[in-house]
């Protein structure tokens, strides 16, 4: 009994320590964000005269409202289409093809471990040839393609687990297939689709390399890309930088706290399957 209790205490202590380590950088940023502008704050300390105005100024200079809009537009351009075509392909690969087409599936899976850096140079020239540099499409279109390996892999795995008799009911012709897909399969796949949506949202919102290379204007970038530009422009002013960084983080963190369970589930499953 006693050892069990002390075990619990040790366990809790360890977790709390881990939580502190996780939170410390955020707290450090927060304390620095309240220091007077243009100074170099000294470590972690509650400033004598907290400068809440730094957040207001960071909001203004970062043009947060426009950034939010830009990131939202990019997410709206990437996520629904990606989820839709990945779901279709997942279904197609799981239910409509025989082993003969395993190679197609493997071709998709091949992209799972591909570092984005491996294609960023040609992507630049490709996007430039399309005349899309410095537009949101420069991020949207490549991301849809880059998400396909994971998306297809994910949805195929889901559809493989759907019992076969469901599909055998509606055989043959294309129109019926299409109907069955929308009316039967998609509703059943909602949890998998939901998780995929959350993951793609996060990955898009936080995408950095593509905006850095393909889009110069921070107002056309993702949040992470905009944060990079913000650091470039205001990185010399630590309090302002920290205030701006926290502001830019805020929307994701708020969303995360609201849908904590769904996010955690999605991230964990995403990790296991990916």
Partner 1 sequence: MTAWLFIAPAAIAYAAFVLVPLAMSFYYSFLRWDGIGEARFHGLTNYLTVLTDPKLLQIIGNAFQLVGYFTIIPVLLGLAVASVIRGHMAGPFGTATRTILFLPQVIPLVAAGIAWSWMFASTGVVNQGLRAIGMSDWARGWLGDFVWALPAVGIIGAWVLLGLCTMLLVTGITKIDPSLYEAARLDGARPWHEFRYITLPGLRQEIAVCVTLTVISALASFDIVYISTLGGPGITTTVPGLEIYRLAFAHRQVGLASALAIVLMVLVLISIAPIQWFAREKK
Partner 2 sequence: MRNQSRHALRIAALTLSVAATAGTALAAPSCGTDPVVLNSYFETGFPLPTRLAEEFTRQFPNVTFDIKEDQFANMMENSPRILSEPNAPDLIRVPSITDLVANNLLRNLDADFDALGWDQFPAGQLVQLRVEEGGRPRGTGSLYGMGINYSMTGVFYNKELAAQIGMTEAPKSVAELDALMAKAKEAGILPVMQWNKGTGGFAFPLQNLMGAYGAPEPINDWIFQKDGATINTADNLKAAEHLEGWIKAGYFPSDANAIEYFQMMSRFMGGEGLFMFNGDWESGNLDTNAKDKFGFFIMPSLEEGGRHASMSSPLTFGISANAANPECAAFFLDWVARNEEARKINVEVGGSNPGGPTDLPMPAVEPGSVTEQSLAAGATLAQDNGAMDFIANATGAIFAAGWTPELQKMVGGQQNAGGLLEAVQREYETQLSR
Residue with Cβ nearer partner 2 (208 or 256):
208
Residue from 236, 250, 254, 264 touching partner 2 (CB under 8 A): that is 236
Ramachandran angles phi, psi of 163, nearest 5°: -55, 145
**Is residue 236 classed as helix, strand or coil in its secondary structure?**
coil
Q: Which long-range contacts (CB under 8 A, 24 or more apart) does 133-137 make?
A: 133/214, 133/215, 134/214, 134/215, 134/216, 134/217, 134/220, 135/215, 135/220, 136/70, 136/73, 136/74, 136/77, 136/215, 136/220, 137/77
The stretch among 58-66, 161-169, 186-194, 201-209 that binds partner 1 (CB under 8 A) is 201-209
When asked if residue 166 is in the footprint of partner 1 (CB under 8 A), the reply is: no
Alpha carbon distance 130, 182 (integer Å)? 33
Minimum separation from the CB atom of position 219 to partner 2 (A):
10
Cα-only R_g, the chain: 23
- Residue 15 binding result from partner 1, partner 2, none, given CB thresholds of 5 to 8 Å by partner type: partner 1
- 133 contacts which partner out of partner 1, partner 2, none, CB within 5 to 8 A by kind? partner 2
Residues 3-42 binding partner 1 (CB under 8 A) are 7-8, 10-12, 14-15, 18-19, 21-26, 28-29, 32, 40-42
Q: Which is nearer to partner 1, 174 or 187 (CB)?
A: 174
- What whole-number distance in Å separates Cα of residue 216 and Cα of residue 196? 29
Q: Which of 139, 144, 192, 196 binds partner 1 (CB under 8 A)?
A: 144
Give 36's DSSP letter.
P
| 29 binds partner 2 per the rule CB under 8 A | no
DSSP 125-176: HHHHHTT-TTSTHHHHHHHHHHHHHHHHHHHHHHHHTS-THHHHTS-S-HHH
The reply on whether position 263 binds partner 1 by CB under 8 A is: yes
Among 113, 164, 165, 169, indicate the residue that binds partner 1 (CB under 8 A). 113
Q: Which of 75, 215, 227, 243 binds partner 1 (CB under 8 A)?
A: 227
Q: Which of residues 82-111 bind partner 2 (CB under 8 A)?
A: none
Verify binding: residue 234, partner 2, rule CB under 8 A: yes
Which residue, 226, 209, 210, is CA-closest to 62? 226
- Residues forming contacts to partner 2 in the complex (CB under 8 A) are 38-40, 124, 128, 131, 133-134, 213, 216-218, 229, 232-237
């Amino acid at each position: 009994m006693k050892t069990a209790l002390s075990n619990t205490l040790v366990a809790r202590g360890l977790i709390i320590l881990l939580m502190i380590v996780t939170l410390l950088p955020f707290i450090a940023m927060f304390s620095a964000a309240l220091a007077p502008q243009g100074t170099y704050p000294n470590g972690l300390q509650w400033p004598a005269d907290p400068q809440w105005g730094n957040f207001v100024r960071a909001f203004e200079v970062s043009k947060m409202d426009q950034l939010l809009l830009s990131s939202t537009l990019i997410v709206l351009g990437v996520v629904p289409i990606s989820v839709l075509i990945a779901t279709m392909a997942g279904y197609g690969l799981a239910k409509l093809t025989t082993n003969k087409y395993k190679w197609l599936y493997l071709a998709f899976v091949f992209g799972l471990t591909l570092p984005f850096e491996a294609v960023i140079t040609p992507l630049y020239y490709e996007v430039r040839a399309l005349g899309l540099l410095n537009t949101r499409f420069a991020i949207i279109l490549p991301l849809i393609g880059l998400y396909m390996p994971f998306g297809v892999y994910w949805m195929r795995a889901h559809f493989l687990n759907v019992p076969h008799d469901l599909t055998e009911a509606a055989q043959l012709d294309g129109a019926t297939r299409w109907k069955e897909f929308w009316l039967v399969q998609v509703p059943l796949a909602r949890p998998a689709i939901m998780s995929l949506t959350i993951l793609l949202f996060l990955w898009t919102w936080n995408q950095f390399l593509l905006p850095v290379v393909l889009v110069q204007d921070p107002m056309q970038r993702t949040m992470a890309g905009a944060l990079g530009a913000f650091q470039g422009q205001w990185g010399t002013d630590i309090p302002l930088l920290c205030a701006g960084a926290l502001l830019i983080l805020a929307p994701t963190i708020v969303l995360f706290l609201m849908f904590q369970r769904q996010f955690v589930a999605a991230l964990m499953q995403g990790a296991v399957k990916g």
